[in-house]
Amino acid sequence: MNNFFTKNRELTEKLGFSLLTLMTLLTVIPIIGTVIYIIVQGAPAMSWEFITGFPRDGMREGGILPAIIGTFYLTLGTAIFSVPLGIAAAIYLSEYAPDNRATRLVRLAIINLAGIPSVVYGLFGLGLFVLFLKFGTSMLSASLTLSIMTLPVIISTAEEALRAVPQSFRTVSISLGGTRWQTIRRTVLPEALPGIITGVILGLERAAGETAPILFTGAAFFLPRLPHSPFDATMALPYHLFVISTQVPEMPVQIQYGTALVLLVFVLGMNMIATLIRSRARAKRQW
């Protein structure tokens, strides 16, 4: 009897472990499959003209340069607003904030900011930047909207990086007569820099791939030229992919896959750079 139970227990464990392994495979394989599939299907579309040319024939031919440049500008614009603000907020939370109600409220606000649906950011951007501040449907409105959406990612990862710097670093700097800001500026920030950069890139990666927040704040359906100023609307890769896969009839599949691949390279490339910076910094770290 006892023997039977032991056997049964072991059988259950074997079955259970196999089930969990199977579930993991069912989760992981589609991810790898998706990425490989897009690469394979999109590769034939890649050509010099596709990357550097303008769309022709109702976007059914030619290249996607305006969308690539547009996404680049939007990401850059997002960085200009969200990076300084996000890092400063992270410094506040890690170096200055007392442990009290107000700080807990700030943290709760950050968590909520991270959870707000992207389309609601779009509404907010439309209400505040496009209409109330009269920036119009423009790269400026879209970048500002995206940067508020990116903020929580940057704040939380940068704070984590700052907190990982050992307390003793700060103690030494202060004991040498450094002020609080000098300590942060010369000791803490340089040590935390790789972690902060990683966080910034991960935040911007999200901004680069988003469509919903720019739908009504700055995205253009089709633009036969590059945007001239921050007050111009712009094409963008994710919105372009949406347009050519739902709004344009008889769209050649190759151009769709090509656009998806360029977007994927843009986003995953940023992700890989971020991961690389993080792992290199970890390997070099002496504390």
Partner 1 sequence: MEKDLNWREFLITRLIKFSGYSAIIFVSLIFFFLLKEGLPTLAEVPLGDLFSLRWYPIESRYGILPLITGSLLVTVGAGLIAVPFGIGTAIYLAEIAPRWVRNLLKPLVELLGGLPSVVLGFLGILILSPTLRVTLNLPTGLTALTGSLLLGGIAIPTVVSISEDALDAVPKSYRDAALALGATRWQTIWRVTLPAARSGVLTAVMLGVGRSIGETMTVMMVTGNAPVLATGLADLFSPVRTMTATIAAEMGEVANASTHYHVLFFIGMVLFLISLFVNVTASAIVFRQKKRAERILS
Binders in 122-151 for partner 1, by CB under 8 A: 122-124, 126-128, 131-132, 148, 151
Pairwise CA distance, residues 157 & 152, whole Å: 8
Interaction mask 88-127, partner 1, x per CB under 8 A: xx-xxx--xx-------xxxxxxxxxxxxxxxxxxxx-xx
> Is the alpha carbon torsion for 173, 174, 178, 184 positive or negative?
positive
DSSP character for 199?
A: H
Question: What is each CA distance from 32 to 28, 38, 52, 58, 283, in whole angstroms?
Answer: 7, 10, 29, 33, 27
Residues in region 199-258 near partner 1 by CB under 8 A: 202, 205-206, 208-212, 215-216, 238-239, 241-242, 245-246, 253, 256
DSSP character for 62?
A: E
Instruction: Return the axis-axis angle of helices 253-284 and 2-42, rounded to nearest 10°.
Output: 120
Output 68 or 126, the one with its CB closest to partner 1: 126
Output 48 or 217, the one with its CB closest to partner 1: 217
62 forms bridges with which residues in the sheet?
55
Q: State the minimum distance, in angstroms, from the CB of residue 210 to partner 1.
A: 7
Choosing from 13, 47, 176, 186, the residue that interacts with partner 1 (CB under 8 A) is: 13
Pairwise CA distance, residues 138 & 233, whole Å: 4
Q: State the minimum distance, in angstroms, from the CB of residue 107 to partner 1.
A: 8
| Contact in structure between 18 and 10 (CB atoms under 8 Å) | no
Cβ-based burial of 242 (10 A; exposed 0-12, middle 13-18, buried ≥19): middle
Output 76 or 272, the one with its CB closest to partner 1: 272
Output 9 or 186, the one with its CB closest to partner 1: 9
Output 88 or 176, the one with its CB closest to partner 1: 88
Choosing from 27, 100, 167, 168, the residue that interacts with partner 1 (CB under 8 A) is: 27
Residues in region 264-283 near partner 1 by CB under 8 A: 264, 267-268, 271, 275
Residues in region 31-70 near partner 1 by CB under 8 A: 31-32, 34-35, 37-38
DSSP character for 54?
A: P
| Contact in structure between 192 and 35 (CB atoms under 8 Å) | no
Output 172 or 253, the one with its CB closest to partner 1: 253
Q: How many residues touch partner 1 (CB under 8 A)?
A: 86
Q: Helix, strand or coil for residue 176? A: coil
Q: State the minimum distance, in angstroms, from the CB of residue 84 to partner 1.
A: 8
